[in-house]
Amino acid sequence: MRAGRRGFLRGAGIAGFLALMPRAIAEVLGYPRALQGPMVGAPGPGHFCIWVRASGAFEVSLEYSEDREFNKVFKGSSAVADAANNGCVVLRAEGLKPDTTYWYRLKYAGQSDRFQYLPHRTRTAPAGNAGFRVAFGSCCRIQFDPEQRIWNAVRALEPDMFLWLGDNIYADSDQEGALVDLYGRGRTVERLEPLLRATPQLATWDDHDFGYNDSDGRSPYKADALRIFKQFWANPGYGESDNPGVYFKQHYGGVDFFVLDGRYHRDPTDKVDDANKTMLGARQKAWLKRELKASRTPFKVLAIGGGWSSAENEKGGDSWGVYLTERNELFDFIRDEDIGGVVCISGDSHMGELNCIPRSQAGGYDIYDFCSSPLAQMPANKNLRQVPEVRVRDTWTRSVNVGLLHFDMDADTPTLRYTLHDVMGEAVWEPLVLTPGDLRNGASTWQEKSDPEELRRLQRFRDGGGYYGQDMPSGWPSRPYHDGTPG
C-alpha cells in the first residue's frame, strides 16, 4: 500500500512531507466514501445544500448537473472533513434556477463512492407562491424500531420538505459518542435514506436529543449537545450570533416557518408559572416577536417539540401546558399586533393530535396545533387523562404516524389542508382546511371545524363528567374546564 494522507499518519517524516504537498495531490489510503448520507439540507430558490459524513479526513466536493448523465458538470463547494466535526460537512450549490430538478454527486478525495454509483436528485425551492407539501414528525427511536416502515408512507406522500420536531434520537446521555452513534445509525435506515437524499430536511430538538428526559437549560452538557446537533443537521441557521440554540426561520413557497428551540433556554418545569418562567428565553422570544411582526406571508407556522395546548397542564407535563403564561404572552402579542395566519405544529406526545386554543374568545383568532408523534416509538394513551382547551379531532394512538401540511399558495384564496397519516399512509381523520380568513382577529372557527363528537365530549367535561363518558378518575384536572390560563 502507498503511504498517504489519512486519519492516522505513520511517522513524523511522512506527515511533514504530506504537509508540503498540495491537498489535491496527497492521496488517501483505502477507499474514501460516505459513512452516512448524503442528506439534503436547507432549501432555497437559488441553491441547495448537502450534508454528508465522510469516512476520513479528506476533501469532499459537490458536483451537480441538470441532466442525469452529467453531460455538463457544474462545481459546487468543497470542504475538508475532520475529526473535530466527526467527519461531517455541508456543501452548497449556488446560482441555480428556482423550482428546478438537479442531479448531484459527491467526490471523496477526488474519488467516487464505490458504494453509491448512481447520482441523486433534488429540487430547488420555488421563487414565489406555490403549491407544496411539508411532512413532519417526532420521536424516532431506532432502539425501538430499526426498520421504521413509516418512511414508506412519508415517501409516498411526496413532501417538498420534512421537519423533524424533536426526539429525533433517544440518546439520554452526556457522552458525545452516544449522540454521534445514534445520529449515524439513524441516517442508515433503509426506508429513510431515499427521502434524505432527495427532500430537504430541517430539525429542532426535544429532551432526548438535547440531554436527558425532561432536561432544561440547566443541563451542563447542552453546549456539547448543540455542537453535535449542528454537525449532523444542515439547517439555515442556529440561534443568533450572541444567543446559542437551534431556532431559525425558513421561507418556502410563500410561507414562513419559525422553528423554535424549547430546551436550551428553558426554565425548570416545576417553577411557578408566572411572567418570570420561560421556555424560549428572553432573546429567542424577542427574535420570534420581531420576525413574526415582519412576516408578510398569509400563513406562518410555529414549530416546536412540545404541544401548544393546555393538554399537559398536569404533574409531570413539560409542554406549553406548564408554560401557559409565556404562551399566552405570545398569543396576546399576535392578537395585539394584528398578525394573521399563525398555526402551530408540535410533537413529543406519542399521539397524533389536532387541538385548538380558542383565542377568538379573547379578541384574537383560534390557533390550531397539529401534533404528529411518534415516528418510531410506542404510541401512548395519555389522552385518557388529558383534556386540552379543544380537541378538534380525536387522538390517534393506534400506530406511528406522520403529519402533512398541504399548502395551495398560488390559488385565488390560499389554503392550508392538514392531514395525519398512519403507518400504511391512510389519512386517519377528515382534513382540516384553513384559509387566511380563518386566522385573523375576530374570526371564530373552532366550533365549525371540530368533529361533533369532540364538541359533545367537551361539553360533557365542562359539565363535570368524564371526557370519554366515564367519571373522572383520581388525578384528572380538578377544574371542570381548563380555559388555558395558568394556575
- On whether residue 468 sits in a domain, the answer given is no
Provide the CATH number for the domain around residue 51. 2.60.40.380
Burial 181-219, CB ≥16 within 10 A → b, else e: ebbbebbebeebbebbbbbbbbbbbbbbbbbeebbbbeb
Cα–Cα distances in Å, from 126 out to 28, 154, 302, 368? 40, 21, 21, 26
Provide the CATH number for the domain around residue 247. 3.60.21.70
- pLDDT tens, residue by residue, 450-459: 999 999 999 9
- On whether residue 316 sits in a domain, the answer given is yes
The count of domains in the chain is 2
- pLDDT tens, residue by residue, 19-58: 444 444 346 668 999 999 999 999 999 999 999 999 999 9
In this model, does residue 78 exceed pLDDT 50?
Answer: yes
Distance CA 2, CA 8 (A): 14
110 shares a domain with 158: no
pTM: 0.92
Q: Which residue in 298, 267, 252 sits closest to 44, CA to CA?
A: 252
187 shares a domain with 48: no
What is the grid cell recorded at 173?
446521555
What phi, psi does 359 have (nearest 5°)? -70, -10
- On whether residue 25 sits in a domain, the answer given is no
204 shares a domain with 316: yes
- On whether residue 16 sits in a domain, the answer given is no
Task: Say which range, 365-379, 425-439, 456-470, has the weakest mean pLDDT.
Answer: 456-470
- pLDDT tens, residue by residue, 363-421: 999 999 999 999 999 999 888 888 999 999 999 999 999 999 999 999 899 999 999 99
339 shares a domain with 402: yes
- On whether residue 231 sits in a domain, the answer given is yes
- On whether residue 24 sits in a domain, the answer given is no
The domain of 68 spans 31-123
373 shares a domain with 340: yes
149 shares a domain with 95: no
- On whether residue 26 sits in a domain, the answer given is no
- Classify residue 217 as left (phi > 0), alpha (psi -120 to 50) or beta: alpha
174 shares a domain with 95: no
